[in-house]
Each structure stands twice: as structure tokens, then as C-alpha cells.
Amino acid sequence: MLNLNKVDQFQSPNSKWFGLSTDEWLPSVVSRHFDSDHGSQYWLDKEKELGIDARKEIKTLDDLKILGPMCEDDLRRYPIEHFIPKIFLDKKSDFILGETAGTTGRPKVTAYRREEFRAIFVDWFAFIAEKRDFPTGGNWLWIGPSGPHIIGKAVGPVANGMGSMDPFSIDFDPRWAKKMQPESIGSKRYLEHVLEQAMDIIETQGIDVLYTTPPVLAGLALRMSDQKRRAIKGVHYGGISIGTESLKCFKEENFPNAVHISGYGNTLFGLCLEIEASSTYDLDYFPLGPRMIVQVVEMADGNVPGSERLSKIVNYGEEGQVVFHRLDESFFIPNMFERDKAVRIPPTSTAIDYGITQDGVRNPTLLENNNTMVKTGLY
């Protein structure tokens, strides 16, 4: 177990799991979800379907492969209560609901207990932001989805955690944006609608921090005056992956006086953060383990079943498909093949100083020729 008394390590009163190895934490999650009386209906049914005894057979991360790949559609077709252990269902007010943006089809649903939500989306960012001298106390402008999207529920607490008031906000509907063809008249008009509202705030308010997606930020950079761009002290990216050339342009040309922090993750699993800047503009992301694990497996070749690919982890420095595992007591999602590819990287010395011992990923981007219909837009 890691020594949590080290000053540099992440600490949160909401993260009893932090500092444990994956194999130390996993049995607690498995015993919770597969408890015959108080577990989650979905996983109890899955256990019966597979003919296994999960609490006896799943002791390590590698053992998760006996469950097979997570069926993405199950998160769309079943009531959310099927995934939450029954022991928690008598206190639903403890939960924060989240829905995805519909990138790979109909939205999927999940939930976090409030203490999990706080650690994963608020305390984790505040910790890295402090280490990287992200500005505190200034005004934030959030341009992105609210409503059912988890990020819209997190941005206010995140800004508050940085000593700021509730952010100025421009709402947009990523599901509607995804219905429009890229570069179509409708798509361009929708982006213009979002940018017009954002510029109204930027031109009348003192904005210190911009939090939005790369396409929106690029549009803002073209419209903002040089003085306004240089006044930005912090930029936080989310929603869509960003390339190294775009990052270099944002840092060196568009917003040269800002601290830039990028995030990688999603509603279902949580947030990986760029914990330190790269001199080569690579984007290295690390999860807040052990409740979130990211692996990189060999690319699909059409001949190897998904269940077998779960064991085919690539070597460090090699590229493959991203697989996420969410190991929360409230919600268990193992073996989820993501729409992205990335390079597997070991924890850096900085990550280890912060208490992060799990693998990270470098430069995640959308898979090419993916069988899943992926729709991207502003988010």
C-alpha cells in the first residue's frame, strides 16, 4: 500500500480506495456487486448466465476477463437500478445521474455516489490544477453541455473548488450537434450560435479560464481580440481529443499566457488528467486508480474474439485499442472496449510522486475503420 502521508500525493476524504493496488481494491467491488442478497441485479443475472462464482473466481484484474467484454447496449436497455447494488437503492438521494452524449448511438446511463463524484471529478482536478499553477479565484466560462451530462454537473463544483464563483455558461446540446453532417450549413450555424453567445460574455466580462472543447476553442480564438486572448490565464480541454499540432497552436499562438490542462475520459468511467505538460506536446493521461483502470490491447484483426483480446495487452510505447474498467462500489463496468486508440505508457516519476501507479495512455484518438458508428461534433 502506498504511503498517503507524503505531501505530494493526492488526498481526498472521499477516496477510501486511493493508495490501494487494483488487486487490493477489486475484491471489495466484486463482493459488493455479486452479493446474493444486496448486490446489483445486472451482475447477479450475468453470474448465473455465465455459470460462475464471481466472488471466488475474480480476485485480480486479469480475472475480469471471465466476464467477457462489457455489452455497451446493456447500459442503454436496462433500468439504472439494475446496475446499482440493492443495498444502496434505499437512499437514492446519494446518487448523481449521468448520461452520455450519444457518440456511439443512443445515450447510455450511469450514476455516482456523491463521495465518488466529488473525488473523481472535483478533488482530482483541483489537486492537479494546484500542482500545475492553474489560476484560482478568477471567472470561468464553460461552453458545453449541461442537462444530463456529467460534465455539466461537475463544472460548477470544479470552479468552486478553485476558489471561483459558479461559471458563466453557454449550453449546447451535443446530441443535436451530432445529427448534423460535419461542415454542413446546419452544423456551421449551430457553432456560430454557440460562439455568438460566448463572445457576448467574453466582451463584457473579465474571463480568466476557458473550459470547452477544441472545436469551440478554435472558433473563439478566431473571434477574440489579441488582448482578450492574452488575458486568459487557464484553459481546460474536454469532450473531444486534441491533437499535438492543435495543442501547440493553442499554447503558443492563441492563449500564450494560460496554463493548459487537458482531460480524457467520459461519463461512464470518470476522468484521466494530463498531470504534467510535455515539451513535445504529447498528451499523457493518467487515471485516478484503482477505481478507474485504463488498458491498451492489440487492435482487432477480425479473427480474435473480444474476450481473448482482453488478455492481449500491448507493450509500453505501442499503440492499441483502449479498454476501460470502472471499479466503483456504486457501479461496476469491466472490460469496456472504447472507440479510441492510444499508446500505452507507464507511470512517470511525477505520477508516482502523486501516488499514481497505474498505466496511462498517450495521444488517444478515434479508431479508424471502427465497426461502431461514431458521431462527433462539438463534443
The residues that bridge with 313 in the sheet, in sequence order, are: 297
DSSP 142-187: EEE--TT-HHHHHHHHHHHHTT--SPEEEE--HHHHHHSPTT-HHH
| Tens of pLDDT, residue by residue, the chain (379 residues) | 334 445 588 988 889 999 899 999 999 999 999 999 999 999 999 999 999 999 999 999 999 999 999 999 999 999 999 999 999 999 999 999 998 876 666 889 999 999 999 999 999 999 999 999 999 999 999 998 887 888 889 999 999 999 999 999 998 887 787 777 777 888 889 899 999 999 999 999 999 999 999 999 999 999 999 999 999 999 999 877 888 899 999 999 999 999 999 999 899 999 999 999 999 999 999 999 999 999 999 998 777 777 889 999 999 999 999 999 999 999 999 999 999 999 999 999 999 999 999 999 999 999 986 554 445 555 5
Amino acid at 185: I
Q: With left for phi above 0 and alpha for psi between -120 and 50, is residue 19 left, alpha or beta?
A: left
Give the orientation angle of helix 214-223 with respect to helix 185-204, to 10 degrees: 60
Q: Tell me what pLDDT residue 218 has.
A: 95
DSSP 320-349: EEEEEEEE-SS-EEEEEEEEEEEEEEPPPH
1-379 maps to which CATH number? 3.40.50.12780
The owner of cell 482536478 is: 125
Note the pTM of the prediction, 2 decimals.
0.92
